[in-house]
Amino acid sequence: MQITASDFDPVFAALADHTRRDIVRRAISAEEGILELASHYPMSFAAVQKHVAVLERAGLITKHRIGRRRVVRTNLEALLIARRLLDQYEALWLAQIGRMDELIAERAGAVGTVETKESKR
Amino acid sequence: MQITASDFDPVFAALADHTRRDIVRRAISAEEGILELASHYPMSFAAVQKHVAVLERAGLITKHRIGRRRVVRTNLEALLIARRLLDQYEALWLAQIGRMDELIAERAGAVGTVETKESKR
DNA sequence: CGCTCGTACAACCGTATCGTTGTATCGGTG
DNA sequence: CACCGATACAACGATACGGTTGTACGAGCG
């Protein structure tokens, strides 16, 4: 399956909320139902439920029946997809630094010569 | 300076938009003014300007005067802060896996085998 | 079988966001 | 200094978001 650019939108949007990030964190190491989750936050049960729904739509968590509850588990895959994008940016950055170094090296070679004419935009 | 949890909100929120992610990407390797940036996107100049403002508020980019333009540069630091959070989640995940392995080992040990129980970290 | 625990979902409200257009400002260039 | 290239900002409308309350459903327990 191919990851399209717009797939990142819901993931980052989901992570842009403090409460949702905390749910992700909790759901890594615990297996709580929505009701248990909700007890940690100063908002209604329904509000937490909505946050869980956002996270689920983003693929960051999944729900599984256990007894009469539906426990929430975070899906590492989605987190890694987000991280991969940040890694790409970092790689681009490093490549750019490399290019700058090249330029500097070039200039160093040109030292002493009379200003080469730059035709900048 | 200390990073508080709410500092992540604007960063992830800023990254939750396709156009803004593209601006971040461009601003890594190019030095364009807002007007030049805007030429790449199917929206008004003012809209792009707003996106840039969002990115700037999130600390993801900075603006610098060059001649009569204000060129946009992405700030790797902010990107790394976001990545660091994802790394933390991954570490939590791995720790959790470790804990599960322990449990499994314990059970295996309980099945009459002579397995030495490891008390990890 | 019926109750109730846990969850889902709809309706609503206030505010934020994303786009638009129009106007104001700021700094170089001629 | 006058002009114009480049940016900033205000106002507006449509839509999305984050919270609330209230109601409905479905699965286990007694």
Q: Domains of chain A by range and CATH?
A: 5-77 (1.10.10.10)
Q: How far apart are the C-alpha atoms of B97 and B94, rounded to whole Å? A: 5
Q: How far apart are the C-alpha atoms of A36 and A23, rounded to whole Å? A: 11
- Residue A82: list chain B partners with CB under 8 A: 86
B4, B90, A41, A72 alpha-carbon torsion, rounded to 10°: 160
- Residue B76: list chain A partners with CB under 8 A: 89-90, 93
pLDDT for the residue numbered A76: 96
Strands B61-66, A61-66: parallel, antiparallel or unpaired by DSSP? unpaired
**Size (chain A), residues:** 121
Residue keyed to tokens 């190491």: A29
Amino acid at A78: A
Residue A95: both structure tokens together: 């490549």
List, for residues B55-107, the tens digit of each pLDDT value: 999 999 999 999 899 999 999 999 999 999 999 999 999 999 888 787 777 66
Whether any strand C atom is under 7 angstroms from the Cβ of A71: the reply reads yes
Q: How far apart are the C-alpha atoms of A64 and A31, rounded to whole Å? A: 10
pLDDT tens for chain A, residues 1 to 121: 777 877 899 999 999 999 999 999 999 999 999 999 999 999 999 999 999 999 999 999 999 999 999 999 999 999 999 999 999 999 999 999 888 887 788 666 655 444 333 333 3
